[in-house]
Amino acid sequence: MPVRPSATTAVSAPGKVLLTGGYLVLDRQYTGTVFALDARIHAVVQQLQRDRHRGSAQSSPKDDATANTGADETLENHPEESVIVRSPQFRDAVWEYGVQRCENGGGVKVTQRNEGPKNPFVETSLNYALTYISYVADSQDLGSLSVTILADNDYYSDSRQDSNIDSRSRGGFHDFGVTLQDAHKTGLGSSAALVTALVSALLIHRTMHPDDLIVARDKLHNLAQAAHCAAQGKVGSGFDVGAAIWGSCSYRRFSPSILEGLGEVGSSGFEERLFSAVEDLDSAHPWDTEFMDVGMKLPPGMQMVLCDVDCGSQTPSMVRKVLEWRKQNKEEADLLWDSLQANNEKLRLELRRAVHGRSDPEFEAAAALEIYKNVRVLMQRSRNYLKTMTEKSGVPIEPLVQSELLDTVSGIDGVIGGVVPGAGGYDAVVLLIRDDAEVIKKLNLLFETYQSRVEDDFGGKIEKKVAMLARVILCNLLRMASTENLSAPDGSDSPAATAQDNTTTTTTTAPEHSDVPAPSSSSPAAAEATQLAPNSTESQSKEKNDTEDFEDKSSPREAAASAAATPTPDDTTTANTTTTNVAAEPPTSGVEASEAPETTTVTEGEDAGPELVITLLLITGARHPFKIDKKYLRRRSVKVDNDDPFNMSVYTLKELIWREWRAEWEPQPSSPSSIRLISFGKLLDDKSPLSESSLTHDAPNVIHMTVKPQEVVDEEDAKGGKSYSARDRDASDRSPGCRCIIL
């Protein structure tokens, strides 16, 4: 399989908070509401070459800066392929694996060479990813790899960090000063984010072209679910992996039977079974995961925060006990679960109603207080159900110390409500609050001196300061990062970089007193330093211009030129401020076409008819809103049955996008047929009406757009329309060095 040995691939995946649906989400009869967080796990994969030695005349300074991981000496002692995995934020966190191929189609299995504790999530991820890569590439040459794994600070409790979120360094990677086994998790889904980021980085590094990524997201999801379940030793609900891939959503789990027949890596035929599961080829056990309200968000003026209580919970044992209780008391448990599900669904719909009613100023003014009141009541009711389950099952889902904490913070003006998320226990609490700096300030003051005063039936106690953790951001999905500009900065300077995600621009800075060394060729901060766009300020200004009022009478190109000539504020100087809000929903006014004829008019006051609201998500991560209604269609002389945009074909939508093309997107393709539109991971067929594409009338529809490279179009034409896959490409089709993309 052709590989560019100098390439570096960096992928990160977000953590999660299961606001509602703890335990219920284990059963396909029920759902869970999960939000993706701005805390991420990062995986950086580099190809190692045996002829690259430190100081060798064969390697350039840039090679040393970008590819030398310090593992070359180890590789010299092992002629076979190796994978070196490091997690430099923890003590003794280095794992060296030998790579072996199992007989009879058993796949690829790694064996730990060095002494020390095993890391089942890393080891299993390598087994599954390398097996899949080897099978689809039909190659025995995997090469040797170096992997660096990094965790944003909020994944682990650290008593040395300030509990005040204003004071904590959120940009750099903190040295936690302990072994991985001694670290205290905060319950944000580190294992799921790790597995998702690692298997995705490996697949992207070895088998995929950037243009394939969005279409392949369902395969990345399936592989990450399989690896994560195998590492846990059970088939879980998978909501945490789902959020790492798709972002915030309402989630219904997949049927466990899909993965129950995979067997162990090394068993005869494992690679073929894994391939069939990942590619969803088994008609008897199709993937039936449901992602609803993808990209869901909080209402305007509302923010979600998490608070670490530094106790920790053993989630697997809690789940086993709850399921055993339900099995023995099925009628009582089902009645309780049905009531909890109904209340959770009311809460989700109440939040959704508040989001989609915000375009009406009168609605906002009149309904804000009512919305907050309703949400507070529904969250309190969920807590009551969970406390009943705690009492009935004997499992600390909402133990007394957490009830005391939630009751205390709920008394603060501006706190709407709170719950113990997910499986409950002592990990953290999640709060919905009014988006106000004063509320954050009051919470910080409380947490500085807070101590539990109750006797807990399960022995839990909050003895350390409560710390503010991550805030929710909209649909922050699995994303790829560029490491093209890796370099070894002067050791006297703190490593700094900029990063831009789908919704905000942030500045990444090493903690002032961090013990993590300044980034050299393979240091963690270096990988983070090149997280996304090389010019984040420019990218940010473009995205801002894209989300302004689209009823501007200037053409897209004229608007872009005007924006380029207008200075924009430098937001990177305020990136570490106290609030990271849920991203605002893009405006829904239609885009004016610069060249569209306007031969048909709509009478003033005439009913606009059905509306199709689309948020076009580009491969750069930028978002562009469209509202298509009767007025929009008639202005562009687009004839559709009943002036209903949902009756348009997918190709007609492509034509409209092509006509509205913006200069700052990327070079305009030669024809609409080069545009690819993806919804819920499925490539939309040109001939199909939009009404068959699962688009909704009452909410913005996120549609991902990519453009086929011209050489791909030419080759498809030459082959009579056949598309080619990543495994058909040779090295010349890949961009040299590093690849950068945001999903």
Confidence (pLDDT) at 209:
66
Place of tokens 């006509």: 659
Max avg pLDDT among 27-36, 44-53, 570-579: 27-36
Q: Looking at domain 536-708, which of 3.40.50.1820, 3.40.640.10, 1.10.10.10, 3.10.20.90 is its CATH number?
A: 3.10.20.90
Confidence (pLDDT) at 105:
94
The amino acid present at 385, given as its one-letter code, is Y
Q: Which residues pair with 32 in a beta bridge?
A: 251
The amino acid present at 112, given as its one-letter code, is Q
Q: How confident is the model at residue 368 (pLDDT cuts 50, 70, 90)?
A: confident
Max avg pLDDT among 62-66, 335-339, 366-370: 335-339
Q: What DSSP letter does each residue of 113-134 carry, written as one string?
A: -SSS---HHHHHHHHHHHHHHH
**Shortest CA distance to 617 belongs to which of 701, 556, 500?**
701
Question: Is 471 in contact with 304 (CB distance < 8 Å)?
Answer: yes
Instruction: Enter the DSSP assignment of 664.
Output: T
Question: Is 611 in contact with 628 (CB distance < 8 Å)?
Answer: yes
Confidence (pLDDT) at 534:
29
Q: Which residues pair with 433 in a beta bridge?
A: 303, 415
Confidence (pLDDT) at 570:
36
Question: Is 194 in contact with 122 (CB distance < 8 Å)?
Answer: yes
Assigned token pair, 698 = 């009452």
Assigned token pair, 337 = 């679960």
Question: Is 137 in contact with 36 (CB distance < 8 Å)?
Answer: no
Top pLDDT among 682 and 593 is at 682
Top pLDDT among 155 and 595 is at 155
Top pLDDT among 149 and 716 is at 149
**Shortest CA distance to 665 belongs to which of 713, 706, 712?**
706
The amino acid present at 326, given as its one-letter code, is R
Task: Judge whether residue 460 has pLDDT over 80.
Answer: no
Buried/exposed 406-436: b ≥16 CB within 10 Å, e otherwise: beebbebebbbbbbbbbbbbbbbbbbbbbbe
CATH 3.30.230.10 residue ranges in the chain?
8-292
Top pLDDT among 485 and 373 is at 373
Confidence (pLDDT) at 295:
83
Instruction: Enter the DSSP assignment of 150.
Output: E
CATH 3.10.20.90 residue ranges in the chain?
536-708
Question: Is 249 in contact with 294 (CB distance < 8 Å)?
Answer: yes
Assigned token pair, 119 = 């890391």
Confidence (pLDDT) at 364:
59
- Weakest mean pLDDT among 31-45, 330-344, 608-622, 643-657: 608-622
Place of tokens 């490996």: 202
Question: 401: left (phi > 0), else alpha (psi -120 to 50), else beta?
Answer: alpha
Instruction: Enter the DSSP assignment of 499.
Output: E
Assigned token pair, 443 = 């919470």
Alpha carbon distance 705, 676 (integer Å): 6
Distant-in-sequence, close-in-space partners of 464: CB < 8 Å, separation ≥ 6: 157, 159, 310
Place of tokens 């990990």: 427
**Shortest CA distance to 120 belongs to which of 230, 208, 8, 277?**
230
CATH match of 8-292 with 3.30.230.10: yes
**Shortest CA distance to 142 belongs to which of 129, 159, 124?**
129
496-508: average pLDDT? 28
Q: What DSSP letter does each residue of 283-324 carry, written as one string?
A: TTS----EEESTT--PPTTEEEEEEE-S----HHHHHHHHHH
Phi, psi dihedral angles at 355 (to 5 degrees) = -70, -45
CA 604 remoteness from chain centre: 43
Q: What DSSP letter does each residue of 154-170 carry, written as one string?
A: GGEE-TTS-S-TTTS--
Nearest-Å Rg of the Cα atoms of the chain is 26
Alpha carbon distance 266, 128 (integer Å): 11
Report percent pLDDT > 90 for the chain.
Answer: 38
108-124: average pLDDT? 95
Confidence (pLDDT) at 465:
55
**Shortest CA distance to 668 belongs to which of 589, 557, 565?**
557
The number of residues in the chain equals 743
Alpha carbon distance 200, 219 (integer Å): 10
Instruction: Enter the DSSP assignment of 495.
Output: P
Q: How confident is the model at residue 57 (pLDDT cuts 50, 70, 90)?
A: very low
Task: Judge whether residue 723 has pLDDT over 50.
Answer: no
Coil, helix or strand at residue 738: coil
Task: Judge whether residue 711 has pLDDT over 70.
Answer: no
pLDDT in tens, 595-610: 333 333 444 455 668 8
Top pLDDT among 574 and 328 is at 328
Confidence (pLDDT) at 365:
57
HSE (side-chain half, CA atoms, 13 Å) at 532 = 25
Top pLDDT among 471 and 627 is at 627
Which fold is adopted by the domain 302-471?
A: Alpha-Beta Plaits (3.30.70)
Q: Is 55 exposed, middle or buried (0-12, 13-18, 19+ CB in 10 A)?
A: exposed
Alpha carbon distance 382, 255 (integer Å): 26
Question: Is 402 in contact with 410 (CB distance < 8 Å)?
Answer: no
Distant-in-sequence, close-in-space partners of 307: CB < 8 Å, separation ≥ 6: 405, 409, 428, 429, 430, 431, 443, 447, 466, 467, 468, 469
Q: What is the mean pLDDT of the chain?
A: 73
Confidence (pLDDT) at 219:
93
Question: Is 117 in contact with 141 (CB distance < 8 Å)?
Answer: no
Using H for helix, E for strand and C for coil, what is the string for 674-731? HEEEEECCEECCCCCEHHHCCCCCCCCEEEEEEECCHHHHHHHHHCCCCCCCHHHCCH
- Helical axes 190-206 vs 239-246, angle rounded to 10°: 50
HSE (side-chain half, CA atoms, 13 Å) at 165 = 25
CATH 3.30.70.890 residue ranges in the chain?
302-471
Alpha carbon distance 624, 405 (integer Å): 42
- Helical axes 361-393 vs 330-356, angle rounded to 10°: 160
pLDDT in tens, 210-266: 566 677 889 999 999 999 999 999 999 999 999 999 999 999 999 999 999 999 999
Instruction: Enter the DSSP assignment of 552.
Output: -
Q: How confident is the model at residue 186 (pLDDT cuts 50, 70, 90)?
A: confident
Question: Is 306 in contact with 163 (CB distance < 8 Å)?
Answer: no
Instruction: Enter the DSSP assignment of 587.
Output: P
Q: What DSSP letter does each residue of 49-100 carry, written as one string?
A: -TT--TT-TTS-HHHHHHH--S-HHHHHT--S-EEEEE-TTSBT-EEEEEEE
Question: Is 223 in contact with 27 (CB distance < 8 Å)?
Answer: no
| Alpha helices, H only, 144-216 | 190-206
Place of tokens 């030419």: 714
Place of tokens 């706190």: 415
Place of tokens 């993937």: 287
Place of tokens 């020390």: 116
Confidence (pLDDT) at 722:
40
Beta strand 32-48 pairing with 8-20: antiparallel
**Shortest CA distance to 309 belongs to which of 450, 168, 471, 465?**
465
Start-to-end CA span in the chain (Å): 25
Place of tokens 């047929």: 673
Q: How confident is the model at residue 162 (pLDDT cuts 50, 70, 90)?
A: low
Q: How confident is the model at residue 478 (pLDDT cuts 50, 70, 90)?
A: low
